[in-house]
Amino acid sequence: MQPHDDHPHVPGPSLWPVGFAVGVVVLMIGLIVSWWIAGLGAIVALVFGFLWVRDLTVGTPLTHTPEVPPESPTGAAVPANVGAAAMAPASLSEERYPRSKFLEASTLGLGAVIGGIVTVPALGFMVGPPFLKQGQKERRLGPLSDFPEGRYVVATYTADPTQGVVSRRTAYVRANGLLDGQPSFSIISNHCAHLGCPVQPNGPLDQQNKKQHGEVTLIPTISIAGFGCPCHGGQYDTEGNRTSGPPVRALDRYSFAIRDGDLYIGTPFSVSHVEGTGKDATIHKWTFAYPGEHVDGLESWLYPIQPPH
């Protein structure tokens, strides 16, 4: 045994954590600035982290098994935490499984069962609903004639009438003319791909031609240069591609359907980027993800599983 083993088990002083902290800071800065700096920070953090851990383990006798004095004159000098010696009965003449032990275990076990019966449904009630019965229902936006070709229309609608004003949404709808004999539309979500603020069209609105169909409001734009976010300055072109600022991908889009000459807005999906414009565009489509999440590239590995949206 070590002398003075009653001393508090604190590691000796070490300077390595300072280097480790510097490495982590450089790594964080690198994530914003450049991959090279991030890699450098990671290496520094790893090296100093290794030195720190080595310092801790070398300084204290972690690797050295404590010797335990024999419990009884006849017992073998086996460490108390190893093998069957830890559970060896003190005496065989005693009851093998005393009544007090049974009562103790059954009280605790019964308590755990009752606690589980009460807690599990309550926890499920708290955690379950946000992930169940999600998904968007189709909403009617208006007749096709309300969407002039080549111009965005600001469509404001109620996604779920039972919830009222809190589910008011805005989408930017542009008719692209006919593609293979079918009408083509670009429907862009107004949720900024940075942190979800509402992007605004960069250009004037044609308030004279505003139309109201029930709770759906349609206001055509006159000529817009793209979309901009008022919160942190993210900018997008007319296809929703990010042009500057903090967003990590292009603006989300919606699927659409046409029935009886009316345009219906469908489910949202995420877009990494769009090549080309209008009906000839190639849309790189991904499953819906929250703002700020990369949908392609290395960073998308950070979000391997999406909850049911």
Partner 1 sequence: MTTTRRPPTRNEQLQQTILYPVDWLEERSGLVGGIRYFLFRKVPGDINWFQTLGSATLTAFIVQALTGSILAMYYKPDPNSAYPSIQHITNDVFAGWLVRGMHRWGASVFIILMFLHMGRVFLFGAYKYPRELNWIIGVLLLAMGLGEGFTGYLLPWDQTAYWATVVGINLNGTAPFLGPFIAQFLQGGTYINADTLPRFYAIHMLLIPGAIFALIGLHLYLVIRLGVTSPPWSKEAAGTGTMIPSQNGGRRGLTRPSTRRRSP
Distance CA 183, CA 265 (A): 14
> How far separated are the first and last CA of the chain, in Å rounded?
60
Cβ burial of 281 (10 Å; 0-12, 13-18, 19+) is: middle
Q: Is 196 in the site for partner 1 (CB under 8 A)?
A: yes
Q: Of the candidates 158, 176, 235, 306, which one interacts with partner 1 according to CB under 8 A?
A: 306
Number of residues that bind partner 1 (CB under 8 A): 46
DSSP letters, 78-106, are --TTSGGGGG--S-TTS-SS-HHHHHHHH
Binding test (CB under 8 A) with partner 1, winner from 50, 131, 225, 280: 131
Q: How far is it, in rounded angstroms, from Cα 158 to Cα 178?
A: 28
d(CA 272, CA 230): 21
Using rule CB under 8 A, residue 214 touches partner 1: no
The one among 29, 50, 53, 61 contacting partner 1 by CB under 8 A? 61
Residue 14 tokens, joined: 């070490």
222-241 residues near partner 1, rule: CB under 8 A: 231
**Is residue 266 involved in binding partner 1 (CB under 8 A)?**
no
- Interface with partner 1 (CB under 8 A), residue from 195, 205, 281, 283: 195
Q: Is 184 one of the binding residues for partner 1 (CB under 8 A)?
A: no
Pair of tokens at residue 208: 């004279």
Based on the shown chain and the rule CB under 8 A, indicate whether residue 197 belongs to the binding site for partner 1: yes
**Nearer CB in complex with partner 1: 264/290:** 290
The window from 19-27, 30-38, 203-211, 284-292 that contacts partner 1 (CB under 8 A) reads: 284-292
- Give, as ranges, the residues between 136 and 175 that touch partner 1 (CB under 8 A): 159-160, 163-167, 169
* Nearest C-alpha neighbor of 171 from the set 183, 182, 186: 186
Does 10 contact partner 1 by CB under 8 A?
A: yes
Does residue 92 belong to the site contacting partner 1 (CB under 8 A)?
no
Residue 108 burial (10 A CB sphere; 0-12, 13-18, 19+): exposed
The pair of structure tokens assigned to 134 is 């999600």
Residue 188 contacts partner 1 per CB under 8 A: no
Beta bridge partners of 205: 221
CB nearer to partner 1: give 31 or 108: 31
- Tell me whether residue 191 or residue 279 sits nearer to partner 1 (CB atom): 191
Can you tell me which of 1, 13, 67, 181 binds partner 1, judged by CB under 8 A? 13
User: 61 or 75: whose CB is closer to partner 1?
Assistant: 61
Rounded to a whole number of angstroms, the minimum distance from the CB of residue 117 to partner 1 is 21
- Listed in sequence order, the residues at least 6 apart from 19 whose beta carbon sits closer than 8 Å to its beta carbon are 44, 47, 48, 51
When binding is defined by CB under 8 A, the residue of 127, 179, 222, 257 that contacts partner 1 is: 127
- As a whole number of angstroms, the longest Cα–Cα distance in the chain is 101
Rounded Cα distance, 255 and 142, in Å:
15
Residue type, 59: G
Which stretches of the chain bind partner 1, using CB under 8 A?
3-4, 7-13, 55, 58-61, 127, 129-131, 134-135, 159-160, 163-167, 169, 195-198, 231, 288-293, 302-307, 309
